[in-house]
Amino acid sequence: MAEVKTIATRDSYGSELVALGAEDERIIVMDADLSAATKTAGFRKAFPDRFINAGIAEANMMGVAAGLSTTGKIVFASSFAMFASGRAFEQVRNSIGYPHLNVKIGATHAGISVGEDGATHQCCEDIALMRSIPGMTILNPADDTETRKAIRAAVALSGPVYLRFGRLAVPVLFDDSYKFEIGKGVTLKEGTDVTIVATGLMVGEALTAAELLKNEGVSARVINMATIKPLDRDILINAARETGAIVTAEEHSILGGLGGAVAELLSETVPTPVMRVGVEDRFGQSGPAKELLKLYGLCAENIVAKAKAAIALKK
């Protein structure tokens, strides 16, 4: 069997910025003194005149990014998810979100898979924070291919975008023919008994879970939901009607993330059993990323258990 290629989406972010920088002189990249970790160092080397290190001052970086965007620039403001969404929340809300400016926030090191950096840096609340800002688009790509396409889609979209990337190398699931569109989910596997709606690195786990369920005679549909906001209402409503049970899977708190968004939508449209796989109401801890994912239930086996529980709730 051929070895599966793995790439961290933060690496894809860094290399795609360099490619875009060569194509579009409007692109400016900012970083909060973390360019080696966020992988924006490549852009700094290639286009030093269009790179700004704001220092350890994320709030100020967002304000400067907002100002630059008013001059026609497309600004990528980069930092760890914890700092980009948490420390700079007021500036993102008031300086970028409120005037609906064309700033793209590149948030790396999201979720539990930050690993040994521990609870202070493992941001599992960022989607919830960004979802609360009116007009904010949230993209959480699953692999290298989707990351590159999501970044290009963000450049083409006028307005603020929160792009979420990880530290851990994850399998490349898609080839160049994969179609990405903001606001659209993608059905990766058809099924009739339950639908698994996954985002980010949990997409691979969802596909594995579907195979495990198949071995037990359960037909699981798998939907990749890279756009958390705006949600693809049509694909979710159809899945709820056709399978009657939903499981969401995300590397984020079960509070306020994909699971919350899906439950909110379906409770108002097609009331359906929804089980959420994600970080429970708790903080992370230091440890190897893959072991933490298992410890916190962010794995195919837990998706299988939740799928069975959702099916049991069907009327």
Round to whole Å and give the CA distance between 82 and 241: 37
pLDDT, average across residues 292-313: 98
Q: pLDDT by residue (tens digit) across 70-122?
A: 999 999 999 999 999 999 999 999 999 999 999 999 999 999 999 999 999 99
**Which of the residues are catalytic?**
58
Q: Is the peptide bond before 230 cis (omega within 30 degrees of 0)?
A: yes
- Which residue range forms the structural domain that includes residue 96? 6-171
Residue 66 confidence (pLDDT): 98
Paired with 164 in beta bridges are 107
Residues 17 and 166 in one domain: yes
Residues 100 and 138 in one domain: yes
Strand locations in the chain (E):
6-8, 27-31, 51-53, 74-80, 103-108, 137-139, 161-164, 169-171, 186-189, 194-198, 220-224, 227-229, 246-253, 274-279
Task: Write out the two tokens for 181.
Answer: 């569109």
Residues 165 and 253 in one domain: no
Q: pLDDT by residue (tens digit) across 265-293?
A: 999 999 999 999 999 999 999 999 999 99
Asked if residue 1 belongs to a domain, the reply is no
Asked if residue 58 belongs to a domain, the reply is yes
Mean pLDDT of all residues belonging to the chain: 97
**Which of 114, 137, 171 is where one domain is finished?**
171
Asked if residue 180 belongs to a domain, the reply is no
Q: pLDDT by residue (tens digit) across 239-255?
A: 999 999 999 999 999 99
Contact (Cβ atoms closer than 8 angstroms) between residue 282 and residue 114: no
Residues 158 and 213 in one domain: no
Residues 63 and 149 in one domain: yes
Round to whole Å and give the CA distance between 66 and 103: 6
Give 3-state DSSP helix, strand, coil % of the chain, rounded to 5: 45, 20, 35
DSSP 27: E
CATH number of the domain that 135 lies in?
Answer: 3.40.50.970
